[in-house]
């Protein structure tokens, strides 16, 4: 089985000068850890890392899953206590009411240094980005695109970032994977091919990873096929921890 290259420097960050065929960034939302943890071996077999975002109370079980994901070299982040949109409220209130309780719960459970945040429903603004940058180093926003018939992810710019712009790009866009987004393997493969050919960063988001996908959740078979395709193309598959 071919594995994805992971060219890290001494600080554990991707050495962009050694990336030749783009970077795939896979992110997953909503604390669906009961479906994430069983995929750890698949990620490891392809030398791939991902980023997982938690909403809701950080219970002892949730915190334990965070520790397991981190032990597997994956990145973890927060997604608010109640999946509240970053809208119609001040950033200060948003942080205090919907994010800070999660941070405190993480600390109490021994999960420190949470540096990443995913915006619920991809709703964000420059005002929120600026304020929350006090507490987080990188965000996943997403484009929220639902693919109509004939849609090709490769034809759009939102999910792609030029490699040289990555260090200064703190808000990662992207497209969703799952039946709701009308994700076909051909569509996903064409996006991977463009990222590899142009040596760009490509970001996707999904939620649960299921044997039979539905709604906004992706299939186990899709995950494995994407990782295999990325490895075939020579793409790096990295989590937020590794992004410079």
| pLDDT tens column, 15-54 | 999 999 999 999 999 999 999 999 999 999 999 999 999 9
Mean pLDDT of 236-241: 98
From the DSSP assignment, how many helices (H) and strands (E) are in the chain?
Answer: 8, 12
Q: Across all residues in the chain, what is the average pLDDT? A: 94
Burial of 11 per CB tally in 10 Å (0-12, 13-18, 19+) = exposed
Domain ranges of the chain: 20-242
Reported as a pLDDT band with limits 50, 70 and 90, residue 146 is low
In degrees rounded to 5, what are phi and psi of residue 173?
Answer: -80, -150
pLDDT of the residue at 1? 78
| Closest CA relative to residue 23, chosen from 45, 7, 44 | 7
3-class DSSP state for residue 201? strand
pLDDT score recorded for residue 97: 98
Q: Report pLDDT for 148.
A: 55
pTM over 0.85: yes
| Correct CATH for 20-242 of 1.10.240.10, 3.40.470.10, 3.10.20.90, 3.20.20.370 | 3.20.20.370
């Amino acid at each position: 089985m071919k594995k994805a290259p992971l060219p890290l420097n001494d600080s554990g960050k991707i050495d962009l000068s050694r990336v030749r065929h783009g970077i795939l960034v896979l992110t997953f939302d909503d604390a669906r850890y009961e479906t994430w943890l069983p995929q750890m071996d698949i990620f490891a077999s392809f030398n791939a890392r991902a980023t997982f975002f938690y909403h809701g109370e950080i219970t002892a079980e949730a915190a334990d899953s965070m520790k397991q994901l981190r032990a597997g070299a994956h990145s973890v982040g927060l997604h608010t206590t109640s999946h509240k949109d970053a809208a119609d409220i001040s950033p200060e209130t948003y942080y205090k009411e919907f994010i800070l309780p999660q941070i405190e719960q993480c600390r109490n459970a021994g999960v420190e240094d949470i540096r990443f945040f995913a915006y619920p429903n991809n709703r964000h603004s420059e005002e929120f980005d600026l304020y929350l940058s006090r507490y987080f180093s990188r965000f996943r926003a997403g484009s929220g695109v639902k693919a109509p018939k004939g849609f090709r992810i490769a034809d759009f710019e939102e999910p792609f970032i030029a490699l040289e712009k990555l260090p200064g790009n703190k808000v990662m866009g992207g497209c969703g994977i799952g039946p709701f987004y009308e994700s076909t393997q051909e569509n996903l493969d064409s996006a991977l091919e463009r990222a590899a050919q142009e040596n760009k960063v490509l970001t996707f988001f999904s939620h649960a990873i299921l044997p039979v996908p539905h709604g906004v959740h992706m299939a186990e078979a899709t995950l494995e096929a994407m990782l295999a395709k990325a490895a075939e193309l020579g793409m790096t598959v990295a989590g937020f921890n590794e992004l410079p």
